[in-house]
Structure 1
Amino acid sequence: MATTTSDAPKFPLHEACRRGNLSLVEQLVKESPKKAYEKDGDGRLPIHWAASSNSAGIVLLLSGLPGFDPDVQDESGWSPFMIASNVNDSEEVLNVLLGRDADINQKNYNGQTPLHLIASKNKLDMARTLFDQKPPASARVRDKRGQYPIHRAAAIGSTPMITLLLEHRSPLDATDNSGYTALHHAIAEGHGDAAVTLLKAGADSTKREESGLLAIDLAPDVEVRPRTYRMVGMIANKLDTGPTVH
């Protein structure tokens, strides 16, 4: 945040929002309401900093001002809702912005939607909330790295998030720009449970990434790799042949 030579903030309202100082924000907005729509050196409005600091009271105040735009983007293309999606324990802020009709499928300049960020943070309840909106969040949006939200969920090993995304028509075997499927990401990060969930959902274990490696070749621990091969083989065999009849 830029400051003047006297160490006073160049953008005092932005700074108050960044610090989560609700009483000061109320005072500054009362003195000069138009400051709520002034951009700082990062192309951010005060609402962006309020979302970043997870200050629900300030977000509620600013979002109630005349002319408020819930989808205004900073210079990186991040809306307040996107910023809050990337902050831990931000459900209250997100719900305030949903109440102001924030666009839940808006993309930043990296092509990410809020669902990409929410999947990365394993915010399962909020993901459910987004799917319940009308129109709902889409699990079928690819970012500029070629990743869908399911790639993010697999990389952090969240089996509940993977299951939820698949229930809402997420692609299962789509590859990102490196040729990684969700299964590649799960195994590369050592998330065996997530890998099993993907395989049981029908993930293709024979797909190779751009270097020619199978997902099971990416198991991080060499000693664990043989067990990973057996796990994949057993699940694939069960899916192909069905249960054994005695």
Structure 2
Amino acid sequence: EGEDTEPKALLAKLEANSKLHQRWKTTIKLLRAAFRFSMVKATPTGRERIFRMVHATSAIKCHPTLFLLAKALHPEQAQQFDENDLFPSTDKASSSSQTPLHLAAASGANGEGGRAVIKSLLEMDPPAAQHADGTNGNLPLHRIAANERKSHWTLDGAKEVFRAYPRGAQVPDKKGRLPLHRAAEVISKHVSFEESDDMALCSVIYNLLQEYPAGASHADKEGRLPLHAIAENAKDWCEEARIVLDANPAAPRTRANRDLHNRLPLHLAAASPHARGSLIQELLRLNPRGAMQSDGAGKLPLHIACETSKEWDGGVSAIYESNQGALQQPEANDRGWTALQMAAASSSSSTGELIVKLTSLYGDAAGRRDKRGRYALHLACASGSRSWEEGGLHALFSAY
């Protein structure tokens, strides 16, 4: 305490300690190699990438003292933009234009160490919280909301990034996504909540909604509401999904636009390999008619679930019970497949049980030919190696 910590004086002290100085130079070499900077000086062909220690130590999970030394030696770097330097882009026409805060928000450093880096960068350059990067138009708040390794609002630094620019919760990126959308995309990585008191302390989604409740009704450029993003990415229905629903009760009945085949959240959950029964059952409860509504490609939720090779008890049974006629109904498009044909055509080895179940419920589907003259048995045989019994071939053969 009280010692001269100006960069030049600090560098002089570092150089005076030969052992420590050598370690520092070795660390620089290792980081340059990790980010694929050349170890030898070459004749530049165009703009040469610039290596900055503050940016490099912000972007990785390292001991906080490494970052602290980097910022003490190079405080000016905290306000310098990375222009495709640390992560070079093949697109020479655009620049990443990101701050060290962007890099820290996206890094794998969580807990107290990662939070300390974020707090330090905000102290050195507060306006960085308002800067949108040149790639996707992401604020640091978008970055940290989308970071599955920084999912705790208080412990991982999201709270500090938000407080530095609260209006950031209302700012869409170039794809029209709010930070709320980005948090919804990684909801399956969030901690589970049992008591509502925990939400204010832990949940990124809860706190973003508290600041901007209208965010639950904001559609991105593909017409995706935050609930659509949850349906695409969540495993189970959870407390965070419920609060997004409470902020926009119409969301389960809202379709995305043509880029997402005009799908309801139920269609998206049926198409998701992550979605389990509880998520699908809740979406059905919230919109019972959804089971009878086709998406923009003419597919019912049952068609989509069978095409995705979902397990019978993993949501398919709930969709079937909500619209049993869907088993006999072909998709409304040029292909015109039934749910059984979709399950049979799947290359997943886990669809055998589903094929057996579908055949037992409506065996006549095995006798339907598609427009190329193929039965479900043809499709199953062409889909890959299937065992006779467990792969569903016997059930298809016996049905027709």
TM-score by length of 1: 0.82
Residue in structure 2 matched with residue 179 of structure 1 by the alignment:
298
Are residues 1:101 and 2:212 paired? yes
* Cα drift, residue 44 of structure 1: 0.9
SS in 2 for 1:196: helix
The correspondence for 1:148, drawn from 230, 239, 264, is: 264
CA distance in 2 between partners of 1:4 and 1:97 (Å): 36
Q: Cα–Cα, structure 1 residues 227 and 6, in superposed 2: closer, same or farther, change >3 Å? A: closer
Q: 5 Å matches for 1:4-153?
A: 5-7=50-52, 9=55, 10=82, 11-19=99-107, 20=109, 21-42=114-135, 43-54=137-148, 55=150, 56-57=153-154, 58-65=157-164, 67-87=166-186, 88-90=188-190, 92-102=203-213, 103-120=215-232, 121-125=234-238, 126-131=240-245, 133-136=246-249, 138-144=251-257, 145-153=261-269
What are the ranges of 5 or more consecutive residues in structure 1 without an aligned counterpart? 235-246
Are residues 1:188 and 2:299 paired? no
What are the ranges of 5 or more consecutive residues in structure 2 without an aligned counterpart? 1-47, 56-81, 83-98, 192-202, 365-400
Residue in structure 1 matched with residue 91 of structure 2 by the alignment:
none
1:63–1:100: 8 Å Cα contact kept in structure 2? no
CA distance in 1 between partners of 2:217 and 2:302 (Å): 25
Q: Cα–Cα, structure 1 residues 15 and 95, in superposed 2: closer, same or farther, change >3 Å? A: same
SS in 2 for 1:208: coil
Of stretches 163-172 and 74-83 in structure 1, the one that deviates more from structure 2 is: 163-172
Q: Deviations over 1:24-52 (max 9, x none)?
A: 22122122221110111221111011112
Q: Deviations over 1:75-122 (max 9, x none)?
A: 112211111111132362212212222411221111111112212222
* Cα drift, residue 190 of structure 1: 2.6
Which structure has more relative contact order (CA 8 Å, sep 6+)? It is 1
CA distance in 2 between partners of 1:14 and 1:134 (Å): 29
The one-letter code of the counterpart of 1:196 is: S
Count of aligned pairs = 232
SS in 2 for 1:185: helix
CA distance in 2 between partners of 1:136 and 1:200 (Å): 24
Residue in structure 2 matched with residue 167 of structure 1 by the alignment:
285
TM-score by length of 2: 0.53
Of stretches 217-226 and 52-61 in structure 1, the one that deviates more from structure 2 is: 217-226
Q: Deviations over 1:137-185 (max 9, x none)?
A: 6101212322111012223352221221122125222212321110001
2:176–2:221: 8 Å Cα contact kept in structure 1? yes
CA distance in 1 between partners of 2:177 and 2:166 (Å): 19
- Please identify runs of 4+ aligned residues in structure 1 that moved more than 6 A: none
1:150–1:165: 8 Å Cα contact kept in structure 2? yes
The one-letter code of the counterpart of 2:268 is: R
2:219–2:225: 8 Å Cα contact kept in structure 1? yes
* Cα drift, residue 196 of structure 1: 1.9
The one-letter code of the counterpart of 1:99 is: Q
* Cα drift, residue 123 of structure 1: 4.1
Q: Cα–Cα, structure 1 residues 66 and 159, in superposed 2: closer, same or farther, change >3 Å? A: closer
Root-mean-square deviation over aligned CA pairs: 2.7
1:82–1:117: 8 Å Cα contact kept in structure 2? yes
CA distance in 2 between partners of 1:107 and 1:118 (Å): 13
Are residues 1:231 and 2:347 paired? no
CA distance in 1 between partners of 2:147 and 2:229 (Å): 16
Residue in structure 2 matched with residue 244 of structure 1 by the alignment:
none
The one-letter code of the counterpart of 1:35 is: A
The correspondence for 2:337, drawn from 183, 188, 213, is: 213
* Cα drift, residue 124 of structure 1: 0.9
* Cα drift, residue 203 of structure 1: 4.5
Q: Cα–Cα, structure 1 residues 66 and 129, in superposed 2: closer, same or farther, change >3 Å? A: closer
